[in-house]
């Protein structure tokens, strides 16, 4: 039996669950990486480990059965936690790769369910989903509508965070550029001063 047959078949609700989980996992992974690169052996905080365990437990459904742990336990240190989350993200992306494909007519990567296809929302958030049963659930305010609304808000929040991060980085780069230019100008001024001959006073020379 192939690995893909041991994974759950795609449905619209499961695809939304996958994408929401992917975004949460990627966000936590980036946060952990920021500390793990500096202090890999340092004990991870209990709050972060609890968040990681919740996400790892939720990700089990998208893993092959042979690799599932009954009760995933987060690694005690930042380096180990980074490895765990990275492996979980790789499994989510493998599941997505096995169950999606490019649709040239729509111009987006699409989930391939049993009877229909729909876009990968985080890759094409502006493409509307128009399938009848999905529209009915959304208009009725059912679970799918709630998940969709939460997913859209999360995508928008991450997009804003990314723009804010790039803005801060550009400001930091501009400050460093100004500082380097100022230091270079000061160095040039010091060099010019040293190359000039010492100033003398003619009247004093005349008294020699």
Closest to 105 in 3D by CA, of 89, 88, 124, 86: 124
Burial class (CB in 10 A: 0-12, 13-18, 19+), 177: exposed
78: part of which helix (H) or strand (E)?
A: helix 78-99
If you average pLDDT over residues 63-82, what whole number do you get?
82
Q: DSSP states of 18-72 as a string?
A: HHHHHHHHHHHHHHHHHHHTT-TTSBPPHHHHHHHHHHHHHHGGGS-GGG--SS-
Instruction: Read off the pLDDT of residues 185-208 as tens digits, 9 standing for 90 and up.
Output: 777 776 655 555 555 545 545 554
2: pLDDT strictly greater than 60: no
Q: Which residues of 29-42 are buried (b: 16+ CB within 10 A; e: fewer)?
A: beebeebbeeeeee
Question: Can you give the pTM of this predicted structure?
Answer: 0.60
Q: Which is more confidently placed, 31 or 65? A: 31
Tell me what pLDDT residue 151 has.
57
In the block, tokens 């492996």 appear at 87
If you average pLDDT over residues 46-75, what whole number do you get?
84
Tell me what pLDDT residue 13 has.
85
User: Using CA atoms, how far apart are residues 86 and 25, in angstroms rounded to an integer?
Assistant: 9
Residue 3: band (very low, low, confident or very high) from pLDDT cuts 50, 70, 90:
very low
Instruction: Read off the pLDDT of residues 134-178 as tens digits, 9 standing for 90 and up.
Output: 555 555 554 445 555 555 566 556 655 666 666 677 777 777 777
Q: Would you mind telling me the total number of residues written for the chain in this entry?
A: 208
> Cα 172 from chain centroid?
21
Crossing angle for the helix pair 78-99 and 12-36, to the nearest 10 degrees: 150
Q: Which is more confidently placed, 5 or 106? A: 106
CA dihedral 139, 130, 99, 26 (to 10 degrees): -60
32: pLDDT strictly greater than 80: yes
Instruction: Read off the pLDDT of residues 120-141 as tens digits, 9 standing for 90 and up.
Output: 888 876 666 555 455 555 555 5
Question: Domains of the chain: which residue ranges?
Answer: 4-124
Residue 183: band (very low, low, confident or very high) from pLDDT cuts 50, 70, 90:
confident
Instruction: Read off the pLDDT of residues 77-106 as tens digits, 9 standing for 90 and up.
Output: 999 999 999 999 999 999 999 999 998 888
User: Using CA atoms, how far apart are residues 152 and 138, in angstroms rounded to an integer?
Assistant: 13
For residue 35, give every residue at least 6 positions away whose Cβ sits within 8 Å of its Cβ, in sequence order, or none: 42, 44, 78
């Amino acid at each position: 039996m192939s690995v893909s047959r041991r994974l759950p078949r795609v449905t619209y609700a499961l695809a939304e669950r996958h994408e929401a989980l992917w975004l949460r996992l990627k966000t936590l992974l980036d946060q952990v990486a920021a500390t793990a690169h500096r202090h890999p052996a340092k004990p991870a905080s209990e709050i972060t480990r609890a968040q990681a365990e919740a996400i790892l437990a939720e990700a089990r459904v998208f893993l092959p059965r042979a690799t599932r742990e009954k009760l995933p336990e987060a690694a005690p240190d930042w380096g180990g936690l980074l490895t765990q989350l990275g492996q979980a993200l790789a499994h989510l992306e493998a599941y997505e790769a096995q169950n999606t494909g490019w649709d040239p007519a729509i111009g987006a990567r699409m989930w391939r369910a049993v009877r229909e296809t729909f876009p990968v929302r985080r890759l094409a958030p502006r493409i509307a989903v128009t399938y009848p049963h999905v529209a009915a659930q959304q208009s009725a305010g059912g679970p799918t509508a709630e998940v969709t609304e939460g997913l859209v808000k999360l995508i928008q929040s991450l997009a804003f965070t990314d723009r804010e991060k790039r803005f801060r980085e550009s400001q930091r780069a501009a400050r460093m550029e100004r500082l380097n230019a100022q230091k270079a100008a000061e160095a040039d001024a010091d060099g010019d001063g040293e190359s000039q001959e010492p100033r003398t006073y003619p009247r004093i020379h005349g008294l020699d």
